[in-house]
Amino acid sequence: MNEQILKNTNAKLLDEFNASINFDKNLYSQDIKGSLAHSQMLFLQGILSEDEKNKIHKGLEQIKKDIENGNFEFKLEDEDIHMAIERNLTKIIGETAKKLHTARSRNDQVATDFKLYIKEKNISLMAQIKKLLFTFEQICKNHTETLLPGMTHLQHAQPINLAFHLLSYVNMFQRDFKRFESSNQRNDTCPLGSAALAGTAHNIDRFKTASLLGFKTPCANAQDGVSDRDFALEILFNISTLSMHISRISEELILWSSYEFDFIKISDEYATTSSIMPQKKNPDVPELLRGKSGRIYGNLFALLTVMKSLPLAYNKDTQEDKEGVFDSVKNIELCLSILDEILKTMQISKENMLKACKKGHLCATDFADYLVQKQNFAFRDAYYLAKDAVAKADSLNKDISDLSFEELKDSSPKLKSLASLNKEVLTCLDLRNSMNSRDSYGGTSSKQSKIQIQELKEWLEQN
């Protein structure tokens, strides 16, 4: 390569390295919205004439149409969406376009565009979560009587109903919803008019621009306005937590669809076959829902790292804020709608869930509680008697809930000699009675689960 070619190649590489147009073109509508508001404010302040403002508005509307109809050429030389739009505006309306950038800089412009984008995404993600919660409500309504083993340490623990189980996820997704909402409330400040870093000498009205763009107030410090990316970190964190919740439920769907559990069948559309094992049906889609959390957490950590030692105010490093956010948003939108479909289309086997309740002596605690409540035992003594009953059941290859009264009495000398113990004790060993006995607020009883569903219904009406 001769020197000239090398120079040109390097220049091209540098252009590519420096430019953000390939991804920040995603922000074209927010950029145009910001420019419309900015020029309107400049007009109201007497900085632009009405004619100039009208020309600029017409040109910007034209550019929006061109971009949406695919008639806009994004060029690397334009570097970013802000320059691309300004240059095209100049082409369309001529000299007047050059006045648009009065009292602003790309620093406040990009912060505003990105904030507007994230604000919109917080709202649309909330709508998607709400849709998912409606699906949960529909499923829960039919399953307040569907027994399954509640687990701790992935070991059978106590009987619960399926609605109660799913309502745990409902609570997670409700918190997610509130996180997106509160992030929007916290970040409802407009950077536009911060200019490069220190504000401007032009007589602008930042309150006007903020209100035209739907922000509550302008951000209070221009330097913070151009360098703050907390709102981007927040959406990345909120999406990360949401994706962690999606990953957790996906893990359960994967387990539940295995032969070992056989609680659900995932609809064929969301499972795939193996290229070698003809009998296989793999839960690829929930596995991907689980796996997506990796890149989503990565995007959060990438931006935290970019931001951690930036001196004030704007630094080009922050150009690295966008791709991760776009990626996390795109993937979480997909995850939310796919999870919704999987839940709607999966088949639930009440029989197998019930069968699983017959393993692991789920009512052992109930037996101990019964001895405390009805036979005046101290809990620790009752605990050991229940342990004996479990051992007895194991020796007979039965579950504690299937022991006869005689077998139960036979489980320890103390019980055998306990004259006041009668057949009523068997009621506490019934799985359904056990589930319904946990009737404390927030508990698993069918009654409490119905109350939780009612609370969900009211929440959905209010939010």
Asked whether the beta carbons of 68 and 85 are under 8 A apart, the reply is no
Q: Give Rg (Cα) of the chain.
A: 31
For Cα atoms 320, 324, 329, give the angle at the middle one, nearest 5 degrees. 140
Helix, strand, or coil (residue 150) = strand
Residue with Cβ nearer ligand ARG (196 or 396): 196
Q: Where are the alpha helices (DSSP H) in 358-420?
A: 364-375, 379-395, 405-409, 413-416
Rounded to whole angstroms, how far apart are CA atoms 305 and 267? 41
Residue with Cβ nearer ligand ARG (24 or 399): 24
Residue with Cβ nearer ligand ARG (267 or 319): 319
Nearest distance from C-beta of residue 438 to ligand ARG, angstroms: 54
From the list 180, 185, 34, 43, the residue with the least C-alpha distance to 111 is: 34
In the block, tokens 């145009």 appear at 32
From the list 168, 165, 139, the residue with the least C-alpha distance to 353 is: 165
**CA distances from residue 211 to 36, 44, 101, 102, 223 in whole angstroms, order as listed:** 13, 13, 19, 19, 20
Site residues (CB under 6 A) for ligand ARG? 20, 24, 80, 106-107, 110, 314, 316, 318-319
Tally of CB atoms within 10 A around 1:
8
For Cα atoms 365, 369, 371, give the angle at the middle one, nearest 5 degrees. 120
Residue with Cβ nearer ligand ARG (118 or 453): 118
Residue with Cβ nearer ligand ARG (197 or 288): 197
Does residue 313 have a cis peptide bond before it, meaning omega lies within 30 degrees of 0? yes
Asked whether the beta carbons of 109 and 200 are under 8 A apart, the reply is no
Nearest distance from C-beta of residue 303 to ligand ARG, angstroms: 13
454: CB partners within 8 A, 6+ apart: none
Residue with Cβ nearer ligand ARG (18 or 422): 18
Asked whether the beta carbons of 219 and 111 are under 8 A apart, the reply is no
Q: Cite the active site residues.
A: 153, 274
Nearest distance from C-beta of residue 76 to ligand ARG, angstroms: 13
Nearest distance from C-beta of residue 14 to ligand ARG, angstroms: 14
Nearest distance from C-beta of residue 319 to ligand ARG, angstroms: 4
Rounded to whole angstroms, how far apart are CA atoms 419 and 415? 8
Nearest distance from C-beta of residue 219 to ligand ARG, angstroms: 17
